[in-house]
Amino acid sequence: MTPMTLLAEAPVERLGHPIDDEIACVSVRECNAVVDAWIPDWLRSSWEKSQRGESLDNEDVVGRALDFAYRLHDGQCRASGEPYILHPIAVASILKDLGGSNAMIAAGFLHDVVEDTDVSCDQIEEMFGKEVRQLVEGVTKLSKLSFESKTESQAENFRRMFLAMAQDIRVIIVKLADRLHNMRTLEHLRPEKQVLISRETREIFAPLANRLGLGQIKWELEDIAFKYIEPDQYQTMVSLVAETHEDRHEQLTEVTRVLADRLESMGIDDFEISGRPKHLYGIYRKMERQKKQYNEIYDIQAVRVIVNTKEECYRVLAVVHDHFCPIPGRFKDYIGLPKPNRYQSLHTAVIGPKGQPVEVQIRTWEMHHIADYGIAAHWKYKESNSTSKPLKGDDQKFTWLRQLVEWQRELKDPQEYLDSVKEDLFDSEVYVFSPKGDVYCLPRGSTPVDFAYRVHTEVGNHCSGALVNNVMVPLQRPLKHGDIVTILTQNNAHPSTDWINFVATNSAKSRIRQWFKRSRRDENLALGRSALERELGKNGLESLLKSDQMQKLAERCNYHNVEDLIAGIGYGETSVNSVVNKLRENQHNDRYFNPQKYEARHEPAHSNNSKSPILGLEGMVYSIAGCCTPLPGEPITGVVALGSNRGITIHRHDCINLANIPSDRLLHVGWNQQKENDHAQTYPIDIRVETIDRVGVLRDILTRLSDNKINVRKANVQTKKGKAAIIDLSIDISDRHQFDRVCNQINKMCDTLSVSRLVAE
C-alpha cells in the first residue's frame, strides 16, 4: 500500500461533485483511523489484507476495487473534512444492501475515478473487466460542455442519462446510490447550494427512484430535500408527528394484537405485522394536495401485514374488514392491478380502536422486497429464494424508458424534452387496458388520443376513432380507471390540430406537432435551404452541404443527417443563426462563405456625420424594393432605376428580380453602421406564422413583438377547422438582427409550426 501523502494547500477543482466543494488537509494516521472505522464487516477481510500489503485474489473484484479507489483518492477530503474514500464506501454499501452484484458494488467504489483522476475506462476494463467498465462509464459525470442555456444543459444531461439507463438499467441504480449519500451529507454545503441540489433531487431523482420501485430511497431523498427546501414546513411536520406519537403507538399496538390473534386462530402461522410510519414529505404533500389538516389524513399511521401467498393476502383482508369498520372508497387492490413500478399490495383504511383512521397494507414477502427495492428486488429475491420463479414482464415494465430514448431523438427543444421527462417520471393516476389486457398508466385527464400515442407513435398518427368498453366515444373524452380502450386506425387518417387542445400528455402534444412539421418536409427543406442561402450565399453552398464538416454539425445538433438539419431550420426547430455561428467557430470554415457577401457584412463604417443608411448613396435619391424588402445587416445590391427621377432601388443580394437586370445598372452598395444612440429607421416586413389553432395564440405572438418594441401595422388571421391557423403580419423592423431574434422567439412557442418571410411575387 502506498503511504498516504499530505494534501497541498491549494484547492482542488472537482467537476460535477456538488458535495466536494472544499478540500481539507488530513494526516495519514487520522485518515487510516477514520476509514477503518467505516469499513463494514463484509469488507473487513479485504481491507485488512490491503493494509498489510498482501495481494488480493483476482476473484475478489470488490476488494480490489476498494483498494484501487483508496489509492486514487489518497489524501482527498470532502467538504465535511472526512476522507473522500468514505463516499465510495458508502455508495458501495448502499448497493450491497440493494442486493447488487459484485460488478455493481465495484462500480460504486470506482464511479468517480475516471473523472477525477488520470485513470481511463480502458484501464478500468483491463483491471476489473468489461462489465465494471460499462457501469463506471455509464455513471461517470458529464464533462462541462458549452450550452446556450441552463435548460439546454440540463436536457442534454438527462438525454445521456436515459440513454445509459436504456443500455443497462443498473447504471441509474449506482447513480441513485451516489445521490443518496450526497444528500445524507448535504449539511456541509452552503445554504443556497443545499436548496439547488435538493430541488434537482426532488424533481428528478426521487421520481426516478419511484419509477424503479426503490421506495426506501425515494422516501429518504424526498424527506432530506423537504428539510432544505421548506425548512419551516419540515419542522412543523416533525412537531406534529412527535405530538401524536404516543396515541398512534397505542392504537397500532392494539390493532396488531387483534390481527395477530385472529390470524393464528385461522391457521396462518407464518406472518409479520408491524407499524409503518409514513415519511414526512408524503404527509405534507397529501395535506397540500387534498387541502386537509394533519388529523384528517388517513394513512399517517399504518399497519403492514406480510404473509407467504397471494391467497393469504385476501384472507387477511377479510379479517381486517371483519374486525374493524372499513372507510368507504379507501380500498385499493394493487395485487390485481400492480403499479407501473411493479409495486403490489392490498391497501385499505379502517376505523381503529380509538376512533382514528388506520391504513392497513397486506402483501407477500416477494411483494415486500419489490416495494422496498424495486427492480433491485429481482436480483435480491432470486438470490435469497432460489425456489422462486423468475419475475415476468420485466421488459414491459420499462416501456416508458424506451419511449424517453425514442423521443430524445425527435425532441430538439430542451424545455419540451424536460417537460416530457418530468411528466413521465411522476406518478400516473389512470390505469386503462388494451383489448389484449395490457395495462397502461396515464396522467389523470388523458384521452384516447393520449392512449394511442402511448401505445405507438404511428397508432396515434393514424387514429380515426376510439372504442371505450366497446362503445364509440369522442376522442376528447377523459379516460377512467379500468377502461378498455380500442383505437381504430386508417391508413389515410392523420392528426388534427384540434387534438392539441385536449390531449393531456406532453408526449402526445409533441408527436402531433412533429407530424405537422414533418408532413411539410419538402416545403421545410426549401425554407431551410433559402435561409442558409441568405446567410451564406449560393456560391459554395452545395459543396458545404455535402461536406463531412456539415454532417458532423448535423450530428452535434442532434440530427441524423444534413437534410434533417435543413428541414429543422425550415420549420423552426433550430435557428439558422445557431447553425451559422457553429460553422464559424472553426476558422477553416471561412472558405465556404461567399466572399462578396462576407465583404459586404464587414464593410467599413461610414463617417458618423452621414445620415443615409445606405453606404455610398449619401445625397442620392433611393428607395427600398418592395419585392424583397431588405433589412440592415443583409447583403444588398443597388439598381439604377429607369426614368429621370426614380434614383436607386435597393434589393437584397439574392432577390430573384436581379437576374434579368443588366450588370451595367447594378451598384455595389452596403449598409451604414448607425451609432447606438441614433434613432433607428424601420422597414416594413411581412411575415407568415403557421400555428396550432388555439385561444390566445395571436395574443402570445403580439406580446413577443411588443416585448421587442416592434410595431404591428396589420394582422390577418385565417382559421379552418382541423387545419393550422395562418397569421399574416405586417411589422416594422429596424435590422436583420432584430428580425431573426423575434422570429426565433415565435418559433420557440410550442404551438408554432413555421415562421416565414413573405415577399412579393
Q: Which residues contact 578 (CB under 8 A, 6 or more apart)?
A: 148, 557
Separation CA 560–CA 554 (nearest Å): 7
CB-based contacts of 175, cutoff 8 Å, min separation 6: 111, 139, 161
Whose cell is 472537482? That residue is: 14
Task: Confirm if 460 and 475 have CB atoms less than 8 A apart.
Answer: no
What secondary structure does DSSP assign to 737-754, as a single string?
HHHHHHHHHHHTSTTEEE
Q: How far apart (Å, rounded) are the C-alpha atoms in residues 362 and 16? A: 42
What are φ and ψ of residue 377, in 5° steps? -65, -25
Q: Report d(CA 564, CA 566) in Å as an integer.
A: 5
Q: Which three cell numbers stand for residue 148?
A: 446556450
Going by C-alpha positions, the residue among 323, 509, 549 that lies closest to residue 423 is 509
Q: Quick check: 470 and 491 in contact, CB under 8 A?
A: no
| Whether the Cβ atoms of residue 722 and residue 696 lie closer than 8 Å to each other | no
* C-alpha distances in Å from residue 603, one per residue of 90, 600, 651, 658, 669: 63, 5, 17, 22, 9
Q: How far out from the chain centre does Cα 154 lie?
A: 7
**Cell (9 digits) for 442:** 396515464
Cβ-contact 306, 368 below 8 angstroms: yes
- H or E element in which residue 367 lies: helix 365-373
CA distance linking residue 236 with residue 277, whole number of Å: 17
CB 87 within 8 A of CB 131: no
Residues constituting the chain: 761
Q: What is the CA radius of gyration of the chain?
A: 33
Measured torsion, CA atoms of residues 746, 751, 754, 755, in degrees rounded to the nearest 10? -20
Task: Say how far apart CA 439 and CA 319 lie, in whole Å.
Answer: 30
8-state DSSP, 55 = P
Contact 301, 359 (CB under 8 A): yes
116: annotated active-site residue: yes
For residues 50 and 89, what is the distance between their CA atoms, to the nearest angstrom? 15
What is each CA distance from 255 to 270, 316, 354, 369, in whole angstroms?
Answer: 18, 13, 10, 24
> What is the C-alpha separation between 748 and 726, in angstroms, rounded?
17
Strand, coil or helix: what is 211? Answer: helix
The C-alpha atoms of residue 444 and residue 478 are separated, in whole angstroms, by 8
Provide the grid cell at 6.
499530505
CB 671 within 8 A of CB 615: yes
Query: In the chain, helix, strand, coil percent, each to 5?
Result: 50, 15, 35
Is position 115 annotated as part of the catalytic site?
A: yes
Contact 205, 186 (CB under 8 A): no
Long-range contacts (CB closer than 8 Å, 24 or more residues apart) made by 144-151: 144/15, 148/578, 149/414, 151/414, 151/415, 151/418
Among candidate residues 116, 178, 483, 634, the one labeled active-site is 116
CA torsion angle 449 453 457 462 (round to 10): -20
Give burial (CB, 10 Å; 0-12/13-18/19+) of 557: middle
Q: Give the catalytic positions in this structure.
A: 115-116
